[in-house]
Structure 1
Amino acid sequence: MARKGFQQQLTELRENVLYMSEIVLERMRKGLRALDEKNEALAREVIEGDHEINEIYLELEQDCIDLFALQQPVAGDLRFIAASFKIITDLERVADLATNLGDYTLQASRDMYPDVDIQGIGVDVIEMVEDAMDAYAEEDTDACFEINDRDDEVDARCERASSIVVRDLIETEIDSDSSDAEIEALMAEVSRLLLTIRDLERVGDHAVNIAARTLYMVENSDELIY
């Protein structure tokens, strides 16, 4: 009977981790939309909702600690709990990056670089996290390697986007009539956009982390952990 209870706890842990991922991904979608629409109300909703993610994270963290301490799992069960513990950490950090998108929305005054496809990159990294969580749910190791491969393209897109911004800044002519306030506003916009690109790239990195932990969970392989 005790063993049946333990297996039920493992099932509930998996379900709760997946539930957390759904909320985090919804925060990311809202943050991306807020940035695209310059929607301050939606941005504040994302920012103010971060405490909910933190509370879920702390509850699941405690669940994992209790399972380690009280059940003393071994082999596959041990790897599953350890992987889940790491995955919720990645999800919490993705939620923090969604909050950053909300902050950037409140700071943004205009779109300076229409050639930089922030939305396209954002959609891609959100899909990577979705697919990584599906791999975790279904124990799909092939998907883990596919997600890792997709991250290379995301990294390349982010590098190209950053290069566009930096090149344009270098080529921008600032004449003697430009006020200090105008120059500061320009630099603030450039900084915000570069940070946005960096944060989206990090979301992709967290998707790879989730895939790596899933591969470890299923096959006891650390091939993607680095």
Structure 2
Amino acid sequence: MPRDEFQQSLADLRSEVLAMSDLVADRLDRALTALETVDEATAQVVIGGDDEIDRRYLELESTCIQLLAQQQPVAGDLRFVAASFKILTDLERVGDLAVNLAQYTLEADRKRFAEVDLSAIGDLATALLDDAMTAYRTDDAALCHEVAARDDELDSLCQRASQRVVRDLIEREVADGDSWAVERLLDDVSRLLLTIRDLERVGDHAVNVAARSLYMIESDPTLV
């Protein structure tokens, strides 16, 4: 493959990775909206759309493998293809987390623990992912470091939300001595804690994207 054609293939790969990121971000946003508004129809759309994300992931994974195997890129081009390959995996997993959130919408009772601000946690998680993909798109090393730093804020929000849920469980229900009520509450507590955990994992994947982008830009994935 001539050099100009190869460079165009790399540009096309970046565009396709960004397009997949847009799709995943849309599904994550829909899942969060469904969870907040108890919109079961939107939740079903997110769940039903997971196959499209998986299909795009496999297609782009194949593209990366072909570029690595057939063209044997070196230096910066090699780092770019390798980073893109890894970023695709993070995006696919965020898509899976969006499906989890949609499924929680169908199962959880959001009237209970309504004071837990999932929207704030979700907004921060999606912002981190968006910034990480912006860093990938623009080769912005400084933004990679910013994403990693702001993930501490997301971790803190998730920790406080989890602690509040557990505290309320003890204060509001266990003291009543109604074993059946406690069992029902534990189901909702488990789902809510899983929701918080999955939002935290979105942030973790955003940090992964930032680290892989930093490796692509500076040949060093260390985010400090």
Aligned to 1:198: 197
Give the Cα–Cα distance (whole angstroms) in 2 for the partners of residues 199 and 219 of structure 1.
Answer: 30
Corresponding residue for residue 213 of structure 2: 214
Q: Which amino acid aligns with 2:220?
A: S
Q: 1:155 to 1:179 in 2, by over 3 A?
A: closer
TM-score by length of 2: 0.96
Structure 1: 5+ residue stretches without partners: none
Distance 1:103 1:167, change over 3 A: same
For residues 61-114 of structure 1, the C-alpha deviation after alignment (integer angstroms, 9 at most, x for no partner) is 000000010000110000000000000000000000000011000002232223
Q: 1:9 aligns to what?
A: 9
Amino acid of the residue matched to residue 48 of structure 2? E
C-alpha distance in 1 between matches for 2:25 and 2:158? 20
Shift of 1:172: 2.7
Q: Distance in 1 between matches of 2:185 and 2:25?
A: 31
Deviations 1:182-205 (A, max 9, x none): 333211110011000000000001
Whether the 8 Å CA contact 2:173–2:182 is kept in 1: the answer is no
SS at match of 1:172: helix
Q: Give the whole-Å Cα distance in 1 for the aligned partners of 2:21 and 2:222.
A: 24
Report the counterpart of residue 83 of structure 1 in structure 2.
Answer: 83
Q: How many residues align?
A: 223
Deviations 1:112-168 (A, max 9, x none): 223311001101110110111011000000000011100001101100110001111
- Note if 1:165 corresponds to 2:175: no
* Displacement of 1:179: 5.9
Tell me, in whole angstroms, the C-alpha distance in 1 between the residues paired with 2:150 and 2:110: 31
Partner of 1:22: 22
Given the superposition, is the C-alpha separation of residues 162 and 131 from structure 1 closer, same or farther in structure 2, using an over 3 Å criterion?
A: same
Deviations 1:4-24 (A, max 9, x none): 111111000000000000000
Runs of 4+ in 1 over 4 A off after TM superposition: none
2:106 maps to: 106
Please say if residues 133 and 209 of structure 2, whose CA atoms lie closer than 8 Å, have aligned partners that are also in contact.
Answer: yes
Q: CA RMSD in A?
A: 1.3
Report what 1:145 is aligned to.
Answer: 145
CA distance in 1, matches of 2:54, 2:78: 24
2:83/2:213 contact within 8 Å kept: yes
Alpha carbons of 1:121 and 1:110: their partners in 2 closer, same or farther (altered >3 Å)?
closer
**Residue aligned with 1:116, SS:** coil
Partners of 2:113 and 2:185 in 1: CA distance: 12
Pair 32,173 (structure 1): closer, same or farther in 2 beyond 3 Å = closer
